[in-house]
Amino acid sequence: MSVRAMPVATHLIEVRLRPEFADAEGAAALQLLQAQGLNSIKEARVSRLYRIQGPITANQVQQAAKDLLCDPVTQEHRVVAPVPAPLNGMNFWRVEVWLKPTVTDPVGETVRDAIADMGLPRPDQARCAFVYRLAGRANKPALEKAVARCLANPLIHDAVVSEAHP
Amino acid sequence: MSAPAAAPAAFGILDKSPKELRALGDARHLSLNDAEWAAVQAHFKGLKREPTLAEVETIAQTWSEHCKHKTFTSPIRLTEGKKTRVIKNLFEETIVAATAAVKKSWCLSVFEDNAGVVAFGKKWALAFKAETHNHPSALEPYGGAETGVGGVVRDVLGCGLGAKPVLNTDVFCFGRPDYAGPLPEGAHHPSRTLRGVVAGVRDYGNRMGIPTAGGGIWFDDDYRLNPLVFVGTVGIMPQWAVAKDVKSGDLIVAVGGRTGRDGLHGATFSSANLGADAPSSAVQIGHAINEKRVLDALLRARDKKLYRSVTDCGAGGFSSAVGELGASCGARVRLEAAPLKAADLSGWEIWLSESQERMVLAVPPKNLKALEAVFAAEGCELAVIGEFTNTGRLEVTHRDESVVGLDMKFLHKGLPRVERAATWSAPASSKASGGAEKKAPLVLREMVAHLNVCSREWVIRQYDHEVQGGTVIKPLQGVRHDGPGDACVIWPHAATGDMKDYAGFSVAHGLNPDYGRLDPYWMALACVDEALRNLTCVGADPARAALLDNFCWASPEDPRQLGALVRAAEGCRDAGKGYGAPFISGKDSLYNQSKDEKGRELPIPGTLLISALAPVPDARKAVSMDFKGPGDALYLIGRTNDELGGSLYHRLLGRAGGEVPKANPPCALDGFKSLHAAINRGLVLAAHDLSEGGLAVAAAEMGFSGEFGARLDLDELARDPRIYSNETLLFSESPSRILIEVKPEHESAFLRHFGKGAKAACVRRVGQTTANPILKVVGLDGSTVLEESLKELKEAWQKTLPAVLR
């Protein structure tokens, strides 16, 4: 008897507040960044990024995103390409703050169990990150330094700062 | 029959010199000193073999300051001036001695279990524990604080056969959030620490459905590198569940979270000064939902009597938990049976991991199936990892390889006691000096806006203090629910189902490191006094108070620091005896010092937190602190002395020295008991304790919380006749004083509770409430020394914390 192995895929789902809603988390992050001297950052919005790995298809991940991870009244979700988007030079920044792989991710663990509870294949792993989408002029080293001081703790977090689309 | 375990992988120490052993210990964060290394070496020389890495790690964890409290239990040679004396065991001679002296039959378990336990009515018992999580919170404020809460909740859950948590408390010491000075590389700014710690306490408590309703914050820049995070939990359990027992043949069952690489070396980490080389693995992120599952399953299993004993996996992980439970009999553990987060963990990592939300049970084999069903129903993992034996040995294997084979006696009794030197010299002069006088109105405005007095609403509102529906007296009080309460009152019977039992309990705290800078002995008495008068203010019975001591100190290797610690512990002893209040549990956290930006050691001020728990006979009669109406009489209990040393007044004026407040326990207790009786008879409308800022701040807080004014006459105060200064009377921090509002028609009945003579001499009518929200104070010469709008004072009081956290 032959056993057909399911491919192990990695899916990235971003869940964000719809633009018409005020983002209190974003406002708090903006205040913290400005307190670090980054006054040229004018807006911050915060979203959650889920990395789901395992024998689960893109359609099943879409279903989990729609029915489990996203509140359709206030939020929207999208699949994020694992490869970074090309830069557009418009002073928009994207900061992803992940827990280091050795650190327990309780949200990720709960998401993994909840996906299985929906009757979908249980992912091998789910991890959750905070994403800060920033608008305003900044240089990358200064932004990285500020992020390490107020939005991420290098002891337990990996922070990825990149220029991005708005 | 299982095959014999393979020879252990050796960890060579027998041929090493003390210097090499020290280097080995430093590299692995073992925190063993030379004498301890020598004892380990001698033990294994006697066995004619090298230890395994896991054995050395197990010994280091078990002998750590965190687990064995070496400083408090080792001999100390104390030099005071020209006198020298030896204290054989500081813990036994102070904290335990006080509890033994007061002999309270309602103490059901003290200093034995994970928490102290007192009777609560005839059927129930309250378990109470406060822990610190300072070092982890300095490195990662959010994770450190939330795992601190998780740990103390598990302490209560692992006390006796398990208590249901009904209250969480939190007390913090931070650097000022607006600190603008330099910080060493890698240190978090105090503002970030505060935000992270509050978020951690909030998220863990709220997600577990436990009200966080009591606590406080102290700001001082000497905490900027070493924040203190005290977290406490009260749980309720039936009295039959207080005792526990382990029998050989019982299965060792691990429940809750899986074991991972996270949290290694947490216990040994607490035995070292905090530095840049702190191991990142000592920090963890908690999983409150997992702990809630463990809580629900465990209490169901307790009520079905499915296990004989339980303890939590705290510092040291399985090594501490199994070691503690099997200390009197022995244990055999197979680590491959433990559920893991990652398959590549080595034996010693599984054994010592401090992954959160795990507990260990001793289960009679016949109950295993039923226990599995209970835990499965809650979606909570369970694994049998071994059994308790009668060999007196700790035997641990991993995949047929011996990992640990230690004699329990050596592990638990083999720690060498090293005598330490301590010195204490009393401050040279008690006379205050320096600083410039300020007008009383200006001082009062600065006081209410001061960080150590201002509103904590920004913090308190983040906590769910109402969950479980039993918070009778809430942390924020008054007509707009924003005034500063003295203590919370909890009615826990929603959890027990005894809906007609109206008894509640209250928890309060006392902490003032500024007094300790002058004299730690009097700080200790003042802390106990503050905790008891806070309890009394809300209607709790001060004669039934049980205490927890939490000492946070710098390195005890410094004789002056150790001398101050001894002095504080002796203050605790005398306070416990004087107030008739037993200590039921406690903890110490030492080595709270770090190198500052210039490489100099920055120790924290010696800090003692006293947490007190007392029953409120009828929670319906509990009293809040806000004025209730105009025209009511204001009484002040307690005598005002010229005791401004360490006071907020001196801090604002930049003044040093002065007389530190000195409590007189028998006299204070008389006043507290009388007030308690009056509250129980419904004769008191409001009561508020006088602490930082003295009478002026207490009256202002009562006024702006109730939106009624007050007129006070300083000449009416029971006072030291040598005081001629209005400012001293207004701002002195003499302990044991409470301001009380009484309806005019109840005045004579109220006074009858205070008897006649000396007892009555300390209760004086000092003024009355007014409809106009103005605080007016008449001085000794009859002139008005203060006339301030309470609305403006409240605005100043409320805006400080949000402003500095912007």
Contacting residues for B541 by C-beta, under 8 A, at least 6 apart: B614, B615, B616, B617, B676
Contacting residues for B372 by C-beta, under 8 A, at least 6 apart: B382
CB B396 within 8 A of CB B254: no
Chain A positions touching chain B (beta carbons under 8 Å): 31, 35, 99, 102-106, 109-110, 113, 149-150, 153, 155-156
Whether pLDDT at B65 is above 90: no
Task: Give the C-alpha separation, B217 to B321, whole Å.
Answer: 32
Q: Is position A39 within any domain?
A: yes
Indicate the average pLDDT of chain B. Answer: 92
Whether pLDDT at A2 is above 60: no
Contacting residues for B626 by C-beta, under 8 A, at least 6 apart: B477, B478, B479, B483, B686, B702, B705, B706
User: Do residue B289 and residue A155 have CB atoms under 8 angstroms apart?
Assistant: no
Whether pLDDT at B4 is above 60: no
CA dist list (Å): B451 to B221, B699, B798 = 12, 18, 10
- Give the pLDDT score at A79: 87
User: Do residue B143 and residue A149 have CB atoms under 8 angstroms apart?
Assistant: no
Q: Which residue has the higher pLDDT, B582 or B411?
A: B582
Confidence of residue B276 (pLDDT cuts 50, 70, 90): very low
Q: A105 to chain B: which residues are within 8 Å by CB?
A: 285
Closest residue by Cα to residue B608 from B662, B565, B575: B565
Q: Is position A4 within any domain?
A: no
Confidence of residue B538 (pLDDT cuts 50, 70, 90): very high
How many structural domains comprise chain A?
Answer: 1
Q: How many CB pairs under 8 A join A and B?
A: 47
Q: What pLDDT, in 10s, does the model give residues B234-266?
A: 999 999 999 999 999 999 999 998 888 776 655
Indicate the average pLDDT of chain A. Answer: 89
- Give the pLDDT score at A109: 92
Q: How far is B290 from chain A (nearest CA, A)?
A: 9
Q: Is position A1 within any domain?
A: no
- Give the pLDDT score at B2: 45
Whether pLDDT at B666 is above 90: yes
- Give the pLDDT score at A80: 84
* Ranges A115-119, B21-25, B201-205, B712-716: which has the least confidence: B21-25
CA dist list (Å): B413 to B44, B328, B416, B651 = 15, 12, 8, 47
Tokens of B223: 């905490």
Closest residue by Cα to residue B495 from B357, B306, B303: B303
Task: Give the C-alpha separation, B786 to B774, whole Å.
Answer: 10
CB B310 within 8 A of CB B361: yes
Confidence of residue B437 (pLDDT cuts 50, 70, 90): confident
Tokens of B792: 């403006």
Query: For a pLDDT cut of 70, what percent of chain B falls above it?
Result: 96
Q: What pLDDT, in 10s, does the model give residues B335-392?
A: 999 999 888 888 888 998 888 899 999 999 999 999 999 999 999 999 999 999 999 8
Q: What pLDDT, in 10s, does the model give residues B610-633?
A: 999 999 999 999 999 999 999 999
Whether pLDDT at B758 is above 70: no
Q: Is position A125 within any domain?
A: yes
Confidence of residue A1 (pLDDT cuts 50, 70, 90): very low
Confidence of residue A165 (pLDDT cuts 50, 70, 90): low
- Give the pLDDT score at A83: 64
Q: Is position A115 within any domain?
A: yes
Q: Is position A157 within any domain?
A: yes
Exposed e or buried b for every residue in B466-503, given b needs 16+ CB within 10 A?
ebbebbbbbbbbbeeebbbbbbbbbbbbebbeeeebeb
DSSP assignment string, B737-786: -EEEEE-GGGHHHHHHTT-STHHHHTEEEEEEEESS-EEEEE-TTSSEEE
Could you give the domains of chain B? 623-806 (3.90.650.10)
Q: What is the mean pLDDT of residues B654-674?
A: 93
Q: A156 to chain B: which residues are within 8 Å by CB?
A: 140, 143, 280, 283, 285
| Residue A107: CATH number of its domain | 3.30.1280.10
Q: Is position A3 within any domain?
A: no
Task: Give the C-alpha separation, B127 to B114, whole Å.
Answer: 9
Task: Give the C-alpha separation, B477 to B468, whole Å.
Answer: 19
Domain that holds residue A97: 9-163
Whether pLDDT at B273 is above 70: no
Q: Which residue has the higher pLDDT, A79 or B526?
A: B526
Exposed e or buried b for every residue in B534-559, given b needs 16+ CB within 10 A?
bbbbbbbbbbbbbbbbbbbbbbbebb
Closest CB from B188, B262, B806 relative to A102: B262
Question: Is B465 known to be catalytic?
Answer: no
Task: Find the helix or strand (DSSP H, E) in which A97 lies.
Answer: strand A92-99
ipTM above 0.85, yes or no: yes
Whether pLDDT at B281 is above 70: no
Q: What is the mean pLDDT of residues B167-187?
A: 95
Q: A149 to chain B: which residues are within 8 Å by CB?
A: 189, 192
Q: Is position A2 within any domain?
A: no
Confidence of residue B7 (pLDDT cuts 50, 70, 90): low
Task: Give the C-alpha separation, B592 to B596, whole Å.
Answer: 13
- Reported pTM: 0.93
Tokens of B393: 């040995």
Task: Give the C-alpha separation, B773 to B760, whole Å.
Answer: 30
Query: For a pLDDT cut of 90, what percent of chain B falls above it?
Result: 78
Chain B positions touching chain A (beta carbons under 8 Å): 139-140, 142-143, 188-189, 192, 260-262, 280-281, 283-290, 341, 355-356, 379, 806
Q: What is the mean pLDDT of residues B219-233?
A: 97
CB A54 within 8 A of CB A124: yes
